[in-house]
Amino acid sequence: MSPTDDDIQTLPQTLKTALNQPTEDSLQGLCDAHAGADLSDALEALPEDQMLDFFRRLDVSCTADVYAHLEPDHQTRVLHALDEDHASQLMSALSYDDAASVLEGLQDDHAESLLETLPDDDQEALETLLGYPEESAGRLMTPEYATVQPDWSVGEAMDHLREHHELAETVNTIFVTTPEGELLGWVRLKELLLSRPTTSVRERMHTDVVSIAAEEDREEAAHRIGHYDLDVLPVVDDNGHLLGIITVDDVMDVLRAETTEDFHRMAAVGDMVLSLRDASMSLLYRKRIGWLLILVAVNIFAGIAIGYYEAAIEAVVALVFFLPMVIASGGNAGAQAATLVVRSLAVNDIQLRDWWRLGGKEVLVATALGVTLAAAIWVSGNWLGTVEVANAIALGMFFVIIFGSLFGLFLPFALTRVGFDPAVASAPLITSVIDIVGILIYFGVAVAMLGL
């Protein structure tokens, strides 16, 4: 019987009780009854010494799946706490892609010493994976897969899969290769099961193969799996030889990491490898203070811009009353446009070449937004001041909205064009720039229309 939601909610306390018992029976029972992901979440909610005790007391056949789902910082702490032999056994029990991810997060000397304790085959496989560029498809793939050859009969293919199923991470989709390893096509296990044993694999093989080069970005791997609705993506070398596979669960981890990174950057927070729950106050301070100091410096120019129009402010005090409303509206419009573009670029919904088409559309949308907000602020301006002041404030609002929307739209495109992550077009950065330019636009329109 599968565990209920209540069981999962109370799992940390249940684990804590089991860890306080002298035998491992209760712990082993929990390991058998719960998914590794649920156990890892529960362990992370316990004190560190109890989490480490869990891995020390149980065999790696149980703990490996739990360990694979821990946050990277917890994985590192567990490895440091285990003795060399136990740590080596744990690493050997992981899939190659999970093991490579763990080694990637260790200090170089620790990773190297741990690699040396592993069997030769594991060492060679992991060194190959770690030899690919960071955040590449090659670093993400696993070399654990089974293939069949086109000239085999279905019976021969099934015998081969039965013999090698433990070496493959998944056999739902099986790739067809030449004896030299060149990728030719794919076939589903279901199709083999429903075929006569004497049928050749070539008759059931699909040749519309979607693959990715090992050096390509892992985000592109995630895009292809989503776009083509794949459960597994083959990774090939320059000559089309199969090197490994990337599965859906690998891609889910990528999407989670990339989305979190984009959110952090758009909020002007530095990249964080820890979860918010585990991050210390000093780390949170260091990650946030840098951009805030930069934005303070940027906003000094906003103060200079206001000071430049001191005489206009003294002449028409009402202009200051509406300034925060106008500038905030421009910043919000820019942040909205930037968020839409950054997300669309991240999921490949749009390309760089789409900038002109989106620009034309944004001009029309920004115009409609500007007219609506200008009409709204005109009513307030006419009530608190004169018609002339209301007209100036409304026109200033209109132009600020136009500028803010177009700046927010084009900045992510410009950053992508020069090779920067478009998520750097963070809301604080956009609003700070729009603050400065918006002040100049607002007071410039007011001075011109009111003859100040």
Which pLDDT score is estimated for 269? 55
**Cβ-contact 211, 234 below 8 angstroms:** yes
Axis-axis angle for helices 36-44, 11-19 (nearest 10) = 80
Q: Which of 103, 131, 159 is the last residue of a domain?
A: 131
We report the CATH number of the domain holding residue 85 as 1.25.60.10
First-residue to last-residue Cα distance in the chain:
79
The verdict on residue 112 lying in a domain is yes
The verdict on residue 268 lying in a domain is no
pLDDT of 204 above 90: yes
Domain with 26 in it: 5-131
**Cβ-contact 329, 376 below 8 angstroms:** no
Residue closest to 319 by CA, chosen among 224, 448, 176? 448
Cα 158 → chain centroid = 38
pLDDT of 166 above 80: no
Q: Choose the weakest-confidence range: 32-36, 165-169, 362-366.
A: 165-169
The verdict on residue 384 lying in a domain is yes
Which pLDDT score is estimated for 218? 87
Which pLDDT score is estimated for 357? 86
Q: Choose the weakest-confidence range: 211-220, 226-235, 284-293, 399-408.
A: 284-293
Cα separation, 185 vs 194, whole angstroms: 19
* Shared domain check, 245 and 362: no
Cα separation, 452 vs 442, whole angstroms: 13
Which pLDDT score is estimated for 319? 83
> For the residues 72-78, what does the mean pLDDT come to?
88
Q: Which of 218, 235, 254 is the last residue of a domain?
A: 254
Partnered with residue 233 across adjacent β-strands are 246
Cα separation, 190 vs 167, whole angstroms: 19
* Shared domain check, 162 and 89: no
**Cβ-contact 265, 256 below 8 angstroms:** no
Residue closest to 46 by CA, chosen among 81, 82, 19? 19
The verdict on residue 397 lying in a domain is yes
Helix (H, G, I), strand (E, B) or coil at 247: strand
Which pLDDT score is estimated for 23? 87
**Cβ-contact 200, 151 below 8 angstroms:** yes
Cα separation, 70 vs 75, whole angstroms: 6
pLDDT of 410 above 70: yes
We report the CATH number of the domain holding residue 162 as 3.10.580.10
* Shared domain check, 203 and 115: no
Percent of the chain with pLDDT over 90: 38
Which pLDDT score is estimated for 304? 84
Predicted confidence band of residue 335 (pLDDT cuts 50, 70, 90): confident
Which pLDDT score is estimated for 236? 96
* Shared domain check, 299 and 346: yes
Q: Choose the weakest-confidence range: 39-53, 133-147, 173-187, 341-355.
A: 341-355
Which pLDDT score is estimated for 271? 55
We report the CATH number of the domain holding residue 443 as 1.10.357.20
* Shared domain check, 306 and 248: no
pLDDT, one tens digit per residue, over 220-277 is 898 899 889 898 999 999 999 999 999 888 887 776 766 666 655 555 555 555 555 6
> How many domains are there within the chain?
3
The verdict on residue 263 lying in a domain is no
Q: To the nearest whole number, what is the mean pLDDT of the chain?
A: 85
Cα separation, 276 vs 29, whole angstroms: 31
Cα separation, 129 vs 132, whole angstroms: 6
Q: In what order do the strands lie in the sheet with 173-177?
A: 147-148, 173-177, 183-188
Which pLDDT score is estimated for 63? 92
The alpha-carbon radius of gyration of the chain (Å, integer) is 29
